[in-house]
Amino acid sequence: MGFELTSEERRRNMAAIRSRDTKPEMIVRRYLFSRGLRYRVSNRKLPGSPDLVLKKYKTVIFIDGCFWHGHAGCTHFHLPATNEKFWRHKIAMNMARDYAANIDLELLGWRVIRIWECEIKTKASREILLPRLYEAIVNAAPFPQSSPSALLAAKSSSPQPENSTPIKALPKPYEDPDIIPPSLAAEPQ
Ligand SMILES: [Zn+2]
DSSP assigned state of 41: E
Domain count, the chain: 1
Domain assignment present for 158: yes
Sheet holding 111-116, edge to edge: 40-41, 52-54, 59-64, 111-116
Going from the Cα of 26 to the center of ligand 1, the distance in angstroms, rounded, reads 17
Domain assignment present for 1: no
Domain assignment present for 182: no
Pair 153, 130: CB distance under 8 Å: no
CATH number at residue 147: 3.40.960.10
Going from the Cα of 147 to the center of ligand 1, the distance in angstroms, rounded, reads 8
Going from the Cα of 44 to the center of ligand 1, the distance in angstroms, rounded, reads 24
Going from the Cα of 117 to the center of ligand 1, the distance in angstroms, rounded, reads 6
C-alpha to C-alpha distance for 36 and 121, rounded to whole angstroms? 23
Going from the Cα of 186 to the center of ligand 1, the distance in angstroms, rounded, reads 24
C-alpha to C-alpha distance for 77 and 69, rounded to whole angstroms? 9
Domain assignment present for 37: yes
**Amino acid occupying residue 58:** K
Pair 169, 147: CB distance under 8 Å: no
Helix residue ranges per DSSP H, 49-161: 84-107, 123-138, 150-155
Helix or strand (DSSP H, E) at 146: none
Domain assignment present for 147: yes
Domain that holds residue 26: 7-175
- pLDDT tens digit sequence for 72-123: 889 888 888 889 999 999 999 999 999 999 999 999 999 999 999 999 988 8
Domain assignment present for 185: no
Domain assignment present for 33: yes
Name the band, by pLDDT with cuts 50, 70 and 90, for residue 159. Answer: very low
- pTM to 2 decimals? 0.66
Going from the Cα of 103 to the center of ligand 1, the distance in angstroms, rounded, reads 22
Task: Return the half-sphere exposure (C-beta side, CA atoms, 13 A cut-off) of residue 56.
Answer: 8
Going from the Cα of 68 to the center of ligand 1, the distance in angstroms, rounded, reads 10
Going from the Cα of 80 to the center of ligand 1, the distance in angstroms, rounded, reads 16
